[in-house]
């Protein structure tokens, strides 16, 4: 079974927790996971994995979490054809650009040739359902990964 790479950026811990819930579900299905905070990762690493998950919280006017900004820009020259990806993250529906960072990451994966496996997971921090939503999303993701492998 191919490993899944999860790279996340999280300022207040919500998106980091989501990454943990997703990893838990995948590992419970015997899908190996490598999970890294974005400040510990390099964009070139993405080419080493068949399955790539990127997660970021959304800030201000729809911005990526600060640690993710340079990483996302440095991805520009990657060729991710033949790989599968998805994006996830948290945000607040109080803001005009709810979970825009998640949309940015999904669009980046797509623009680099990565096939998106399922719609992005965008969790509203105000609803306090990140664990439940993350685990449900990860179960569907695990089904997709098992079908691809």
| Three-state secondary structure readout of the chain | CCCEEEEEECCCCHHHHHHHHHHHHHHHCCCCEEEEEHHHCCHHHHHHCCEEEEEECEECCCEECCCHHHHHHHCCCCCCCCCEEEEEEEECCCCCCCCHHHHHHHHHHHHCCCEECCCCEEEEHHHCCHHHHHHHHHHHHHHHHHHHC
Please check the confidence at residue 125 and state whether its pLDDT lies above 90: no
Q: How many domains does the chain have?
A: 1
* Whole-number pLDDT of residue 144: 96
State yes or no: pLDDT of 128 exceeds 80.
no
Closest CA to 121 of 137, 132, 107, 105: 137
Q: Once rounded to an integer, what is the mean pLDDT over residues 110-122?
A: 96
Taken in order 5, 8, 14, 17, the sign of the CA dihedral is positive
106 versus 64: the higher-pLDDT residue is 106
Mean pLDDT of the chain: 92
Using 50, 70 and 90 to split pLDDT, how confident is the model at 126? Answer: low
The CATH number linked to 103 is 3.40.50.360
Domain with 78, as residue range(s), is 4-148
Q: What is the pLDDT of residues 12-42, one digit of tens each?
A: 788 999 999 999 999 999 999 999 999 999 9
Say if CB 101 and CB 25 are below 8 A apart: no
pLDDT digits (tens, 9 = 90+) for 90-112: 887 777 777 889 999 999 999 99
């Amino acid at each position: 079974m191919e490993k899944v790479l999860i790279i996340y950026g999280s300022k207040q811990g919500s998106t980091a927790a989501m990454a943990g819930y997703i990893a838990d579900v995948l590992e419970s299905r015997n899908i190996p996971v490598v999970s890294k905070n974005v400040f510990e990762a390099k964009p070139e690493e993405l080419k080493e994995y068949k399955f790539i998950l990127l997660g970021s919280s959304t800030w201000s006017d729809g911005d990526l979490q600060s640690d993710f900004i340079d990483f996302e820009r440095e991805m520009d020259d990657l060729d991710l054809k033949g790989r599968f990806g998805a994006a996830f993250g948290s945000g607040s529906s109080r803001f005009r650009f709810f979970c825009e960072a998640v949309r940015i990451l999904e669009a980046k994966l797509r623009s680099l040739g990565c096939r998106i496996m399922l719609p992005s997971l965008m969790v509203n921090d105000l609803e306090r359902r990140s664990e439940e939503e993350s685990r449900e999303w990860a179960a569907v993701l695990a089904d997709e990964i098992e079908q691809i492998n």
